[in-house]
């Protein structure tokens, strides 16, 4: 494996390999000297064009634990603010480092960067599209808590329309045969094209509901309303009031249900829930370091096979206003998904 761009394109073998390597990294971290040579003398460029706390810090911590050095870029204090193109910034970072960790507000930015850079590119969140490293942390956490992923009943709850964590996780969970339910207020429901694609790809039916029904749920996975992706902030506030996890809601849930959240949490989980032993989100965040160590070493040391994108049809014009191609020119091509639908090679949206 070289690049990690999307849960659509990672193979089951690579994803499983990362989960296994993560467990090994967690063991090694008990005696940090044992992992300090794995990426010795490597330089990793952390390129953050959008705000981040956990992803940026945990990637830095992971790189340092492996003996690598990091370059930290933030678009606000760089030439990107002077109007430098994304492609030029990536070319430059590629020349300075052995791998690029990229977060960007545009969908498809990571795929485009991987075509420009000679070194591995790891997607640390591209707009509302994907956040595959978060998904691998989530899968690792579920497996640690429940001993398995297959058959585990997972309820995705929150802003399923905009949250890239949810879009990635849907594919990750189905890849490992979890049973997924989507719960959200109607105006924040999972995009229907995504549901259709996942159902066809994995031959399952995903129940979608507006009210939480937690009686049989093993994992409640919550996310905040992604207000930065709303054009009207008032709508985001209204949406945020429409769902909340509180002690009352948890009364109907199993005693061993686990509550996960990619963080940051805002108002969707009340403070009393933090004290409930079922709240496992800080444990989940801590898993970010060994999982990102596994991802960095696998991408940089090149274990596993590179995935070939399926051949591209002749022409494709992406109409997604959030696609990176609206800002950068690249050779536009479409790819055919497992559901036989053509989608943009970059932002992964159907025409
Ligand atoms: N967006 C979250 C944060 O800022 C987590 C992340 O970076 O992925 O912490
Ligand atoms: N940290 C996650 C992300 O960067 C979730 C969030 O920001 O709500 O997507």
Question: Hey, what domains does the chain have and what are their CATH numbers?
Answer: 12-131+287-301 (3.40.50.1370), 132-285 (3.40.50.1370)
Does the CB atom of residue 46 touch ligand 1 within 6 A? no
Q: Give the per-residue pLDDT at 182.
A: 97
Q: Give the per-residue pLDDT at 80.
A: 66
Q: Give the per-residue pLDDT at 239.
A: 79
pLDDT, tens digit, 9 for 90 and up, residues 287-306: 999 999 999 999 999 865 55
**Residue 244 a catalytic site member:** no
**Residue 103 a catalytic site member:** yes
In the chain, the percentage of residues whose pLDDT exceeds 70 is 95
Strand intervals (E) in the chain: 43-48, 69-74, 99-104, 121-126, 153-157, 179-183, 208-209, 219-222, 258-260, 334-336, 342-344
Q: Give the per-residue pLDDT at 172.
A: 98
Q: Name the more confident of 78 and 202.
A: 202
Does the CB atom of residue 13 touch ligand 1 within 6 A? no
Catalytic residue among 42, 119, 131, 265: 131
Quick check: 311 pLDDT over 90?
no
pLDDT, tens digit, 9 for 90 and up, residues 86-103: 999 999 999 999 999 999
**Residue 196 a catalytic site member:** no
Please work out, in degrees rounded to the nearest 5, the angle formed at the alpha carbon of residue 346 by the alpha carbons of 300 and 325: 120
Q: How far apart are CA 186 and CA 225, in angstroms?
A: 13
Ligand number nearest to the C-alpha of 160: 2
* Full DSSP string of 144-169: HHHS-STT-EEEEES-TTT-HHHHHH
pLDDT, tens digit, 9 for 90 and up, residues 49-63: 998 888 999 999 999
At residue 230 the predicted structure's pLDDT band, cuts being 50, 70 and 90, is: confident
Task: Find out whether 139 and 291 touch, Cβ atoms under 8 Å.
Answer: no
Tokens 């996975």 correspond to 221
At residue 247 the predicted structure's pLDDT band, cuts being 50, 70 and 90, is: very high
Closest ligand 2 atom number to CA of residue 103: 4
> 35-44, 81-90, 122-131, 160-169: which range is least confident on average?
81-90
Q: Give the per-residue pLDDT at 341.
A: 85
Q: Give the per-residue pLDDT at 310.
A: 52
* Cβ atoms < 10 Å from Cβ of 111: 26
**Order of all β-strands in the sheet with 179-183:** 208-209, 179-183, 153-157, 219-222, 258-260
Distance 122 CA to ligand 1 centre (A): 15
Q: Give the per-residue pLDDT at 296.
A: 98
Ligand 2 pocket, mutate which of 165, 240, 263, 268 (most atoms under 8 A from CB):
165
Tokens 């064009």 correspond to 49
Quick check: 41 pLDDT over 60?
yes
Closest ligand 1 atom number to CA of residue 131: 8
Average pLDDT in the 24-33 region?
96
Ligand number nearest to the C-alpha of 60: 1
**Going by DSSP bridges, is the β-strand pair 43-48/153-157 parallel, antiparallel, or unpaired?**
unpaired
Mean pLDDT (the chain, rounded): 92
Q: And the tokens for 218?
A: 């093993």
Measuring from each residue's beta carbon to the nearest atom of ligand 2, which residues come in under 6 Å? 125, 131, 134, 164-165, 223-224, 226, 262-263
Closest ligand 1 atom number to CA of residue 134: 8
Does the CB atom of residue 55 touch ligand 1 within 6 A? yes
Quick check: 309 pLDDT over 80?
no
Nearest residue to 114 via CA among 135, 128, 132: 132
**Going by DSSP bridges, is the β-strand pair 153-157/219-222 parallel, antiparallel, or unpaired?**
parallel
pLDDT, tens digit, 9 for 90 and up, residues 133-179: 999 999 999 999 999 999 999 999 999 999 999 999 999 999 999 99
Nearest residue to 324 via CA among 130, 57, 51: 130
Does the CB atom of residue 333 touch ligand 1 within 6 A? no
């Amino acid at each position: 494996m070289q690049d990690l761009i999307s849960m659509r394109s990672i193979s089951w073998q690579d994803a499983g390999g990362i989960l296994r390597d993560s467990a090994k990294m967690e063991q090694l971290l008990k005696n940090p000297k044992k992992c300090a040579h794995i990426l010795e003398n490597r330089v990793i460029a952390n390129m953050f064009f959008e705000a981040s706390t956990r992803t940026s810090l945990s990637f830095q911590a992971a790189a340092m634990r492996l003996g690598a050095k990091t370059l930290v870029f933030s678009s606000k204090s760089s030439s990107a603010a002077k109007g430098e193109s994304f492609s030029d910034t990536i070319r430059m970072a590629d020349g300075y480092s052995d791998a690029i960790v990229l977060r960007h507000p545009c969908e498809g930015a990571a795929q485009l960067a991987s075509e420009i850079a000679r070194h591995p590119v790891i997607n640390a969140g591209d707009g509302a599209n994907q956040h595959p490293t978060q998904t691998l942390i989530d899968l690792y956490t579920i497996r640690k808590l429940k001993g398995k992923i297959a058959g585990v009943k997972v309820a995705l709850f929150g802003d399923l329309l905009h949250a890239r964590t949810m879009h990635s996780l849907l594919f990750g969970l189905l890849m490992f045969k979890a049973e997924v339910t989507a719960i959200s207020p109607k105006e924040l429901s999972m995009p229907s094209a995504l549901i259709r694609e996942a159902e066809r790809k994995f031959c399952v039916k995903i129940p979608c509901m507006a009210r939480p029904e937690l009686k049989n749920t093993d994992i409640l996975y919550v996310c905040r309303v992604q207000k930065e992706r709303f054009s009207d902030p008032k709508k985001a506030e209204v949406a945020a009031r429409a769902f909340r996890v509180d002690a009352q809601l948890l009364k109907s849930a199993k005693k061993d249900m686990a509550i996960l959240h990619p963080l940051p949490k805002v108002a969707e989980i009340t403070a009393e829930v933090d004290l409930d032993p079922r709240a496992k989100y800080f444990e989940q965040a801590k898993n970010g370091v060994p999982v990102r160590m596994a991802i960095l070493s696998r991408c940089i040391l090149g274990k596993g096979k590179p995935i070939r994108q399926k051949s591209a049809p002749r022409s494709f014009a992406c109409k997604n206003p959030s696609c990176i191609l609206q800002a950068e020119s690249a050779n536009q091509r479409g790819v055919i998904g497992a559901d036989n639908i053509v989608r943009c090679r970059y932002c992964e949206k159907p025409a």
